[in-house]
């Protein structure tokens, strides 16, 4: 019988901390695992840190401490192209998504 290594989870966040440049500590000690095929709703009041967390999942923000891996790939410069192929983010304000005046 052949055995293959188990596939890594879709998302693994460990001990994530992030402070904005003004010193505001938005995340501290965040752990989250999302398994393959799992659907997760992230709930919390305004200012809880949902957007800050999500911006770490494809490297828009870089962790102050801790780590984020997507399908086993550490989010960082080395794997950025592949990470961004896998993790798309729709911004809350559609004006942030439209950065050119025409589709072309």
Ligand X SMILES: Nc1ncnc2c1ncn2[C@@H]1O[C@H](COP(=O)(O)OP(=O)(O)O)[C@@H](O)[C@H]1O
Among residues 49 and 64, whose Cβ is nearest to Mg ion? 49
Among residues 26 and 83, whose Cβ is nearest to ligand X? 26
DSSP 26-77: EEEEEEEEE-TT--------TTSSHHHHHTTTTTSS--SEEEEEETTEESSG
Among residues 11 and 30, whose Cβ is nearest to ligand X? 30
- Using alpha carbons, select from 62, 67, 56 the residue that is nearest to residue 29: 67
Shortest reach from residue 55's CB to ligand X, in Å: 8
Which residues of the shown chain bind ligand X in the complex (CB under 6 A)? 20, 22, 24, 26, 44, 46-52
Contact residue for Mg ion among 19, 34, 51, 60 (CB under 5 A): 51
Cβ–Cβ < 8 Å for 36, 10: yes
**Would you say how long the chain is, in residues?**
104
Q: Which stretch binds Mg ion (CB under 5 A): 22-30, 45-53, 62-70, 75-83?
A: 45-53
Among residues 30 and 83, whose Cβ is nearest to ligand X? 30
Two tokens, residue 34:
């999302």
Q: Which residues bind Mg ion (CB under 5 A)?
A: 50-51
């Amino acid at each position: 019988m052949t055995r293959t290594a188990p596939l890594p989870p879709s998302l693994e966040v460990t001990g994530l901390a992030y402070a904005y440049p003004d010193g505001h500590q938005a995340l501290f000690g965040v752990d989250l695992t999302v398994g393959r095929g799992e659907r997760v709703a992230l709930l919390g009041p305004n200012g809880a840190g949902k957007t800050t967390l999500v911006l770490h999942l494809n490297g828009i923000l870089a962790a102050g401490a801790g780590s984020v891996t997507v399908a086993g790939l550490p989010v960082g410069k080395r794997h950025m192209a592949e990470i961004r192929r896998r993790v798309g983010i729709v911004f809350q304000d559609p004006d942030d998504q439209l950065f050119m005046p025409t589709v072309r």
